[in-house]
Amino acid sequence: MSAIYDSSNIFAKILRGELPAHQVYEDADTFAFMDIMPRSTGHALVIPKTPARTIVDATPTQLSACLATVQKIARAQMAAFGADGITLQQFNEPAGGQVVFHLHFHVLPRWDGVKLQPHTGQMEKPDVLAANAEKLRAALSA
């Protein structure tokens, strides 16, 4: 049994507009934005707009909506950044590596021979995140 959803988490605050984010995409059910400590150039996060703590308590509807958005973001990353591939990551509960307790999917552009940066490593400059978000938005609307 997973722990209870706490609406004071950072991503819930972003969804409520209480904290800023470099938004990439939004639809009725999902929201996508740049990870503030990217593991690769263009690293984005996809979240459901409704509360879910982990993959364990999420509904099939939340998961399918997120995966449809993950695919859109992955395609846009391939185009926008000339990625050779995409890695998905998704962590659940502290034991599973989760730090922010609102369900999220990491979508990571990859290049042949380029290793990922550490998880929750270094904070990226806001202008770099803004520029990468703009590239993704342009690819999504192309």
d(CA 41, CA 10): 22
Cβ closest to ligand 5GP, residue 64 vs residue 120:
120
Helix spans in the chain (H): 10-15, 60-81, 126-140
Task: Name the residue number minimizing CB distance to ligand 5GP.
Answer: 37
Residues at the interface with ligand 5GP (CB under 6 A): 10, 21, 33-37, 91, 97-100, 104, 120
Q: How many beta carbons lie within 10 A of that of residue 82, not counting itself?
A: 9
CB of 85 to ligand 5GP, least distance (A): 19
Q: What is the C-alpha radius of gyration for the chain, rounded to an integer number of angstroms?
A: 14
| Catalytic machinery residues | 104
CB of 142 to ligand 5GP, least distance (A): 24
Cβ closest to ligand 5GP, residue 21 vs residue 107:
21
CA 12 → CA 8, 9, 28, 120, distances in Å? 7, 5, 16, 19
Cβ closest to ligand 5GP, residue 85 vs residue 97:
97
